[in-house]
Chains A and B, each alone.
Chain A
């Protein structure tokens, strides 16, 4: 009995070893790392990024891969936690088969992982991390940028929204809600700073933690200041609850948010309070070209839901990385040099989210579009800002 068990155990071990050895032996794949939250409270966003990357990788492989080699995306879960991201980043840097990174999703996680990427010399393109601080921390001693992003920064979005509220909507008294993390605070600071320059009145600044469900105390307090609009610097799961609870206590004013709101689930969660939200997004399906239209259809057929900007950006970030590998080969340093060289619109990567290129800090220069929710659907805002 024991002998039999041992034999079985031995065979199992051998098989495990063999299975583990297969990817290591096969050097006909090119690996890219996609570190994002796949479990935990931000897992929903990680799914969006994964969907975008999956579509691009499948497309590349269906067309024969890069130089005859298949592309393999390695999904590493960091739960949007800085601590986990630091661990994952070391793992990525140590795996020499990985040549480039699409990620991280959250700014906090990206900031925690960044020192490893800079030190070890591997380039990352984040499709979603918008924190301003990344700009100051993504260069090595020689001034080489290792972290790029094809999404605009929080200060740009916050400033843009303040101007939109003032110039296009003509609203003057604003209440501000923000999530207490890098994203929310960055967005709020930029908004409030610009609002004050424009002469708007801020009637209350209230913070909340990720995963909070009850906003009645803060809303009740804000209602006393009679705001004309509500600015919510955060993500859609909490945002949907805020607008719903605001409506219930009779605070039915226009709401403003940023790209964290751009998700079809917002409407499902907020229900009949969803209407009247304005938000900035780096991707507007209605103004997108034929490639994007095709992407939107494929996405819907494959995942059974509407596309969101995170998936679109992740799709393009993967495309850019694949382009770099195709041009200069699977070499970490050369890939970085190539990406840093995409610094004008002419040299830019023409993706579904428009032309992607980077400035000397690895930040992108993309326009922001304004969308609104009307009749339970996202539509382009009647007036865009130039």
Chain B
């Protein structure tokens, strides 16, 4: 049973991780907690479903289109809601973020209705239902394998982008000191937009995989996932990309074990208790570096 719970926890954790990197990257670059990120994740699922049903697109095309749309949505979010407040106190941007989150939730409700919708089953390959690996009592389905493979490869790709490309270098420079970076000739707004696009695209992928895995999507699904992913980002050390990945996996497993062995009504409580403990004992998070507050 423990092994099966670990498999369940890893699935959940990798999804949290995918959402959490979006939070952490934005925080790293502009020190904003983008509370509307959960809604981008929700839009990812709904847009993919729409491309599949309304336009009859093949699965891969629908997924890529949805990711692209959400990346664009992330950029728009920055341009509309955050850029005008770039030099305002941080609290102002935080409140706008919450406002955007509520706005997007209601927008989705107007477009797709408030009833929960199933994923388009016909679009999924048949082998998704089949068990991929099984050791004794432990079963891993192909759907779960797909989540593992997609999430891990996307995160490897993200690391390559951040460490090896020019834009990635610019992102890291911005995270260290925005003013200095702009003096060095970096187009700050463009790099921030790129960060939003990258994080939103990954968030969309997480939303699509969740709605496939559980066969359901609803307009308020972003809230819970968003809060959990935020907790994961804090757990790993907000601002740190490997930290967000690690935090997501730890949170997913802790939650699953908490529900399986401690008490199911307290599953979220267990997850948050761990987060609070980490913050008390290691304020910079599990993988975060203790840096002095920027001027």
Contact = CB atoms under 8 A, between A and B. Distances in A.
Interface stretch (A65-73, A85-93, A209-217, A368-376): A209-217
B273 to A, nearest CB: 16
Given A249-B139, A269-B118, A220 B5 contact: yes
A211 B221 contact: yes
A217 B260 contact: yes
Given A271-B118, A271-B215, A214 B12 contact: yes
Contact of B218 (A237, A244, A245, A268): A237
Interface in B208-263: 210, 214-216, 218, 220-221, 223-224, 255-261
B1 interface: yes
A47 B115 contact: yes
Interface in A215-274: 216-218, 220-221, 224, 237, 240-241, 244-245, 248-250, 265, 268-269, 271
B211 to A, nearest CB: 9
Contacts of A40: 114, 220
Contacts of B265: 180, 207-209
A81 to B, nearest CB: 12
Contacts of B106: 39
Nearest to A205: B264
The contact size tier of chain B is: 35 or more
Nearest to A214: B12
A241 B214 contact: yes
A220 B216 CA distance: 21
A41 interface: yes
Contact of A213 (B5, B117, B210): B210
Interface in B79-124: 106, 109, 113-118, 121
Given A220-B4, A249-B139, A43 B109 contact: yes
A258 to B, nearest CB: 18
Given A211-B220, A271-B121, A217 B5 contact: yes
B118 A41 contact: no
B220 A41 contact: yes
B50 interface: no
Given A39-B106, A211-B221, 15 more contacts: A44-B116, A47-B114, A211-B224, A213-B221, A216-B5, A217-B5, A217-B259, A218-B259, A237-B116, A244-B214, A248-B141, A265-B115, A269-B116, A269-B216, A271-B215
Interface of B: 1, 4-5, 8-9, 12, 106, 109, 113-118, 121, 139, 141, 210, 214-216, 218, 220-221, 223-224, 255-261, 264-265, 267-268
Interface of A: 38-41, 43-44, 46-47, 180, 206-209, 211, 213-214, 216-218, 220-221, 224, 237, 240-241, 244-245, 248-250, 265, 268-269, 271
